[in-house]
Chain A
Amino acid sequence: KAGVTQTPRYLIKTRGQQVTLSCSPISGHRSVSWYQQTPGQGLQFLFEYFSETQRNKGNFPGRFSGRQFSNSRSEMNVSTLELGDSALYLCASSPRATNEKLFFGSGTQLSVL
């Protein structure tokens, strides 16, 4: 079974631009969550989707948004990029919207110049 796939693996953008990150969960998994990982700050929760509905949202500005499609694939969008948005963005999936373990992808490394 293929793991969680995130594309692209690396991205370089400039301030003010917009970016879209993609996540394909493990087949059969319906819950997808997104995290921002920066050195020394661990993983900060962005949002979680289940069956195309956003069930939880972290404390990030409205520039960060996401969505989930009917095939459970998810996208995350960041508009008006800032230097501080440079981070590793991780996607994780789980089978159902309960308290199971998360399966993580390798992440998208975003650099904002």
Chain B
Amino acid sequence: AQSVSQHNHHVILSEAASLELGCNYSYGGTVNLFWYVQYPGQHLQLLLKYFSGDPLVKGIKGFEAEFIKSKFSFNLRKPSVQWSDTAEYFCAVRPNTNAGKSTFGDGTTLTVKP
């Protein structure tokens, strides 16, 4: 069974600081990787995803993530955060099979101070 680990439970940054949220997964086969974001009072929505190809993927609002297969990692980054990035971020992994289920990490709450 797959599992996902997000190392930071709560991150507090000032505006313009750089962000990196860690995500590691365990699974023996090929996976698809996702980052979802939940802004206060809103539903979960996709930030970015990796299926194959270039391991550096770009998402909405200036976010990017790098898939490092050898480290089973898919860390989320943003060079300069804004107050509006305050949200909860979830990493998810789904085996690349027809019946694969999505497994989510526990989430990281990001607070950006203006």
A-side residues, CB < 8 A to B, are 3-4, 33, 35, 40-45, 48, 55-56, 58, 90, 92, 97-99, 101-102, 104-107
Residue B14 is within 8 A (CB to CB) of chain A in the complex: no
Which A residues touch B26, using CB under 8 A? none
Q: Are A104 and B106 in contact (CB under 8 A)?
A: no
Q: Are A43 and B90 in contact (CB under 8 A)?
A: yes
Q: Cβ of B101 and Cβ of A99 under 8 Å apart?
A: no
Specify which chain A residues have a CB less than 8 angstroms from the CB of B105 in the assembled complex: 42
CB atoms of B98 and A33 under 8 A apart: no
Q: Are B43 and A102 in contact (CB under 8 A)?
A: no
Contact A97 B98 (CB under 8 A): yes
Minimum Cβ distance to chain B for residue A17 (Å): 26
Q: Which chain B positions have C-beta within 8 A of A101?
A: 34, 46, 49
Q: Is the CB of A42 within 8 A of B107?
A: yes
- Residue of A40, A43, A44, A55 most packed against chain B (CB within 10 A): A43
- The 5 A-B pairs at the shortest CB distance, nearest first, are namely A42-B106, A43-B104, A104-B44, A56-B101, A99-B32
User: Which one of B9, B36, B43, B98 contacts A40 once the chains associate, using CB atoms below 8 Å?
Assistant: B9
Q: How far is B100's CA from A106's CA once the two chains are assembled, in angstroms?
A: 23
Q: Is the Cβ of A45 less than 8 Å from the Cβ of B102?
A: yes
Asked whether A41 and B106 contact (CB < 8 A) given A90-B44, A104-B44, A107-B43, the answer is yes
